[in-house]
């Protein structure tokens, strides 16, 4: 008799914890941790090996954390009970408390009813239900904003990510990383319309952004909440989370994770995502390189056009005075007028961009920088207020 795909022998939901060797990217950490105590690393300098104490944040000292698992859901009714069980199997043995934030992205099947049942039976299951389908990025953003944990874990609802990998990824957070993202090295999808376009896209993204990455599309990620909540995710930007976080100063590491074939439901994406990813890549390149100072981009194009206008105008004059070539019939005169106008346009665009970026940061109530931590700042402020009080009262 043919084996049922849900046969426990498939070990689909009860995969034993496998500690895998993380693939480290060169941005994140170039140094191996050869069995040293947790907060020590060997740092290799050209001249000598030295032992460095890493500056690890509070949650990395072996303390129990509160985890927020964020799951975007669109028509996954059959997967949800198995996903819930898989998450429980993976999280219960850990010393951390957790909440499961299920974001129903306007599902048209029975997902809402299944989520109701899960939430009634277990109050760690929290549900955000969209009025209609807004897309995976919006679902992830809503879940991240609702998170109350120290760490956000994002995972697909379709069981393609393995919850058993979470323990190993949390280990990396405890080592001091801010974001751990999965690499589906043995991806269980079709080659022509999934794996090949993804390989090309990841190669191109790594080249354009300078962020070495093998797999940006893996939803399984573990991120410190303060960093996840700083990210502004629009369009389909969920794919670029590690790059956006790295731009905000997060320490990122990529680890090899398990990937399984989809058993129930269908993928929501086709080959058409390639163009959307390419367009998003342009936005991300602009964001990470020029959003703080758009004049650097538009102004330099404007200056290049101005230089071209001057060269071609000078050539027109030289041809007229030296060789008697008629200026009105000379195409170089047209070129210099055209380049001059384009230069003015680009310089104005640069100025408008500068204005927009200031408005952007103020309206979003965000800063163009990310603060890892502060020392004595809060207590300093309190101390100042305490000192001020008697003076005010005296006045
Ligand atoms: N998803 C979503 N909204 C959408 C499309 C997808 O919330 O509009 C969810 C989907 O339910 C799944 C995850 O995003 O949990 C990834 O989707 P899918 O498996 O279709 O993507 P693939 O793995 O094929 O890239
Ligand atoms: Mg999937």
> Read out DSSP for 269-307?
--TTHHHHHHHHHHHHHHHHHHTT-THHHHHHHHHHHHH
What is the enclosing helix (H) or strand (E) of 320?
helix 295-323
Nearest atom, ligand 1, residue 160 CA: 23
| 236 close to ligand 1 (CB < 6 Angstrom) | no
Nearest atom, ligand 1, residue 106 CA: 3
Nearest CA to ligand 1 atom 13: 156
State yes or no: pLDDT of 53 exceeds 80. Answer: no
Nearest atom, ligand 1, residue 217 CA: 25
| 177 close to ligand 1 (CB < 6 Angstrom) | no
Mean pLDDT of 25-36: 45
What is the enclosing helix (H) or strand (E) of 391?
helix 377-394
| 156 close to ligand 1 (CB < 6 Angstrom) | yes
Nearest atom, ligand 1, residue 140 CA: 7
| 267 close to ligand 1 (CB < 6 Angstrom) | yes
Q: From the CA of 73, which ligand is nearest?
A: 1
Rg of the chain over Cα atoms, rounded to whole angstroms, equals 27
pLDDT band at 194 (very low <50, low <70, confident <90, very high): confident
Distance 248 CA to ligand 2 centre (A): 28
Q: Please say whether the dihedral angle defined by the alpha carbons of residues 220, 222, 228 and 229, taken in this order, is positive or negative.
A: positive
pTM over 0.85? The answer is no
Mean of the per-residue pLDDT values for the chain? 84
Question: Which residues contact residue 164 at a Cβ distance below 8 angstroms, ignoring those fewer than 6 apart?
Answer: 15, 16, 17, 18, 86, 89, 90, 258
The pLDDT value recorded for residue 383 is 55
pLDDT tens digits for 272-281? 888 899 999 9
| 198 close to ligand 1 (CB < 6 Angstrom) | no
The pLDDT value recorded for residue 246 is 95
The pLDDT value recorded for residue 247 is 94
State yes or no: pLDDT of 43 exceeds 70. Answer: no
Which of 156, 258, 276 is the pocket-test mutation for ligand 1 (most atoms within 8 Å of CB)? 156
Q: From the CA of 260, which ligand is nearest?
A: 2
The pLDDT value recorded for residue 395 is 39
Nearest residue to 75 (alpha-carbon basis) of 273, 270, 268, 272: 268
Tokens, residue 294: 């758009």
- Neighbour tally for 40: CB within 10 Å: 13
Distance 261 CA to ligand 1 centre (A): 14
The pLDDT value recorded for residue 378 is 74
Distance 254 CA to ligand 2 centre (A): 19
Q: Please say whether the dihedral angle defined by the alpha carbons of residues 369, 372, 377 and 379, taken in this order, is positive or negative.
A: positive
Query: What percentage of the chain has pLDDT greater than the value 70?
Result: 80
State yes or no: pLDDT of 133 exceeds 90. Answer: yes
Mean pLDDT of 43-71: 58
pLDDT tens digits for 293-344? 999 999 999 999 999 999 999 999 999 999 999 999 899 999 999 999 999 9
Nearest atom, ligand 1, residue 135 CA: 8
Distance 302 CA to ligand 2 centre (A): 44
């Amino acid at each position: 008799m043919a084996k049922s795909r849900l046969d426990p022998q498939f070990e689909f939901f009860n995969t034993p914890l496998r500690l895998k060797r993380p693939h480290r990217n060169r941005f994140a950490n170039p140094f191996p941790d050869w069995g040293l105590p947790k907060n020590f690393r060997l740092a290799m300098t050209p001249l000598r090996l030295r032992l460095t104490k890493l500056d690890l944040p509070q949650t990395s000292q072996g303390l129990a954390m509160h985890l927020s698992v964020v799951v975007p859901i669109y028509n996954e009714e059959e997967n949800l009970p198995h996903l819930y069980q898989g998450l429980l199997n993976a999280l219960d043995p850990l010393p951390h408390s957790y909440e499961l934030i299920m974001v129903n992205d306007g599902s048209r099947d029975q997902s809402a009813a299944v989520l109701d049942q899960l939430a009634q039976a277990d109050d760690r299951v929290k549900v955000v239900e969209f009025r209609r389908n807004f897309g995976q990025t919006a679902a992830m953003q809503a879940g991240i904003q609702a998170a109350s944990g120290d760490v956000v874990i994002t995972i697909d609802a379709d069981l393609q990510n393995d919850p058993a990998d979470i323990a190993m990824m949390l280990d990396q957070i405890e080592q001091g990383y801010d974001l751990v993202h999965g690499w589906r090295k043995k991806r269980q999808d079709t080659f022509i319309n999934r794996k090949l376009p993804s390989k090309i896209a990841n190669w191109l993204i790594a080249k354009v952004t300078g962020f070495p990455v093998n797999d940006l599309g893996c939803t399984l990620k573990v991120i410190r909440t303060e960093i996840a909540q700083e990210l502004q995710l629009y369009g389909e930007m969920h794919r670029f989370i590690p790059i956006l976080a790295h731009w905000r100063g997060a320490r990122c590491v990529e680890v090899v994770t398990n990937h399984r074939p989809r058993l129930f439901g269908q993928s929501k994406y086709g080959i058409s995502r390639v163009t959307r990813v390419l367009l998003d890549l342009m936005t991300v390149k602009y964001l990470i390189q020029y959003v703080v100072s758009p004049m650097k981009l538009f102004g330099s194009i404007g200056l290049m056009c101005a230089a071209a206008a001057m060269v071609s105008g000078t050539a027109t004059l030289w041809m007229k005075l030296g060789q008697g070539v008629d200026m009105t019939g000379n195409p170089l005169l047209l070129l210099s007028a055209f380049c001059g106008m384009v230069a003015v346009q680009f310089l104005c665009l640069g100025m408008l961009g500068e204005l927009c970026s200031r408005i952007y940061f103020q309206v979003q109530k965000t800063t163009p920088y990310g603060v890892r931590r502060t020392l004595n700042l809060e207590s300093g402020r309190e101390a100042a207020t305490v000192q001020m009080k008697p003076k005010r009262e005296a006045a």
